[in-house]
Amino acid sequence: MSTATLSEVRTMNPGARAWRWVVGVISFLRENWMFTLGLSLLLGLYLFGMIGALFVDPKQADMGAAPLSQPPSAEYFLGTEGFGRDVFTLIVLGIPTTFKIGLLAGGVGVLIGTVIGLIAGYYRGYVDTVFSSLADVMLVIPALAILITISAYVRVMTVELMAIIVGLLAWPLPARVIRAQTLSLRNRLFVDVARLNGQNDFEIIFLQLLPNLTAFLAAAFVGSVSTGILAAVGLEVLGLGPQTVPTIGRTLFHSFNYSAMFRGMWWWWGSPIAVLSIIFTGLFLMSLSLDKYANPRLRGAMRG
């Protein structure tokens, strides 16, 4: 964005700025069909869970509330599982919880990774060496093994606690992406101008560099959400997730643990797998679109 354009934006009233932002978002969605499609899949699924929760009876998610192992019917849309619970109710109640875990874990991971990446890339030297080495070590160590070890020692696992634990191990990749971009931006002319204007390091990092990393932050957040949901589902399938809250991974845990696949109860494991397929397809499309938008080379290839 040119200096003249920045000056125009700063002199606009709040209403004009908001309208300009809305127009920019609409234009972005129209030009990036993969992002729009992925976002539509996720929003549609999330709204399905939120609106559906208003019409289902939570008691149907309790053991013994319905006949055992019934296939899909007019009364039970997705059938019932081996504990006498309505699979449709479990799915509807589990969708918002799964999204909550992913968003919290992604937010924590990107927040930590952004701060570390900005500081390491801006200061370089020993600070960069320490943080980069720590990130490299964290990337080499299997995160799932650490998550399993930590979760095994947590007596009461809640949705929020599991999201935080997953997020604390999701920062290395965002940190490396933000660090690489910060190294490129720190020598730009606008940073030198900011120093001449008397801005300190904190102001330069968070007021000058950070706004120029919006596209990379968005791509890192989507990737962290995907990683967070995958890690959370992995823990839940192993029986280390929340015990009292319906989640997609918890439904899979019970179906695998009680051999639903071998007993021919395809609706027990098929429904949660279909939900996860929609979630990861939407996140993949969004991530791919954001990567192409942030990377000029990929953007040129996409247009070509």
Lowest mean pLDDT among 39-53, 187-201, 268-282: 187-201
Asked if the model's pLDDT at residue 23 lies above 80, the reply is no
**Whether residue 27 has pLDDT greater than 90:** no
Q: Is-contact 173 113, C-beta < 8 A?
A: yes
Per-residue confidence band for 14, with pLDDT thresholds at 50, 70 and 90: low
Nearest CA among 234, 287, 229, 211 for reference residue 106: 229
Q: What CATH number does the domain located at 32-303 have?
A: 1.10.3720.10
Q: Is residue 275 classed as helix, strand or coil in its secondary structure?
A: helix
Least confident of 85-89, 275-279, 290-294: 290-294
Q: Quick check: 37 pLDDT over 60?
A: yes
Q: Kindly report, residue by residue over 172-224, the tens digit of the pLDDT.
A: 889 988 998 898 888 888 888 888 888 888 888 988 899 888 888 988 899 89
Q: What is the pLDDT of residues 148-159, one digit of tens each?
A: 888 778 777 888
Which residue type sits at 58? P
- Give 283: exposed, middle or buried? Use CB within 10 Å, 0-12, 13-18, 19+: buried
Q: Decide: residue 91, CB within 10 A, 0-12 exposed, 13-18 middle, 19+ buried.
A: buried
Alpha carbon distance 53, 58 (integer Å): 8
**Separation of alpha carbons 283 and 53, rounded Å:** 23
Domain ranges in the chain are 32-303
Tally of CA atoms within 13 A in the half-sphere of 157 that contains its CB: 24
| Model confidence pLDDT, tens digit, residues 226-246 | 988 998 898 888 888 887 888
